[in-house]
Amino acid sequence: MNEQQEMIAPMLDMTAGEMLKNARTTGRRKREISTIAKLLCIKEEFLTALEEGNYRVIPEDVYILGFARSYAVELGLDPDEVILKLKKELGIIKEESEEDEEPVVDAQKQPIKIDKEAIFKWFKTSINYVKKHWIWFASGFAALIFVIILSLLIFGGKSEPVVDTNATETVEVVATVKEPDFRYPIHEKFDTKNRKESRVVLQAEKESWVKIEDARGNSVFSRVLIPGDVYYLPASDKLKATFGNVGAIDVWVDGQLLKKLGPANTRKTGISMAPDALKSVGFAD
């Protein structure tokens, strides 16, 4: 067993909290919880609760998972591995066991049995029926030909080209939203797939945890943004936001910078991110 395998083996047996504490207190870069708490804008008691596995201190599972992911990233751990362990500890997902697994039958590999005798019998019966009632089939076919010819005679005139009067309007609706003139050098962009249609864009002036939820309370985006980070919100009037440090976030609507949504170092939740609602806050000078 090499040195790397010796380091990974005990990590597999650790809880999520033990992994976080081990990463913070061992190695060359030992760090204090108070320092990391200020950096992530997360209460020190919440980070301590994560390390000790005392999850009742944190109000909801979504905050537990969000804080743990940000903490793991800051400590250089694989956030997906930490979150997976944490979900198992919280009972959100169950441990998989070999006894619970059932063999999966691949339907595509199953041989398809063709009853040749039944097909031949059906084909023979159909031919005999057509022979017996051939007059009906001939009459129906002749009637169909007559209807087609009559339709061509009546409607076969030259048709005028159809002009789509809404074509110009459609082009205007699909127009790209103006890119904001950001105040700070861009560090990293998130969800750029929304860039062309996003009317609301965020940029971090200082570090702040940002969470965006849809109308059902499902998390659309959750991350600690560092100075210069940009996030393009999906085009929707139903989104709400929570900011760990609301005064550290620039909010742009239709390419215009809004006034701050709150003072610095203040946590604010339930903020409607509908463009028209945000405009009521007023634009920065």
What contacts 127, CB < 8 A, 6 or more positions away?
Answer: none
Tens digits of residue pLDDT in 225-269: 999 999 999 999 999 999 989 999 999 999 999 999 999 999 999
Give the 3-state secondary structure of 180-230: CCCCCCCCCEECHHHCCCCCEEEEECCCEEEEEECCCCCEEEEEEECCCCE
Sequence ranges of the chain with CATH classification 1.10.260.40: 8-90
Tens digits of residue pLDDT in 173-191: 444 677 899 999 999 999 9
**Length of the chain, in residues:** 285
Whether 82 contacts 16, CB under 8 Å: yes
Question: Which residue in 199, 203, 198 sits closest to 186, CA to CA?
Answer: 203
Pick the CATH number of 8-90 from 3.30.70.100, 2.60.120.10, 1.10.260.40, 3.40.1440.10: 1.10.260.40
Whether 249 contacts 225, CB under 8 Å: yes
Query: pTM, whole model, 2 decimals?
Result: 0.43
Q: Provide the token pair at 172.
A: 């205007």
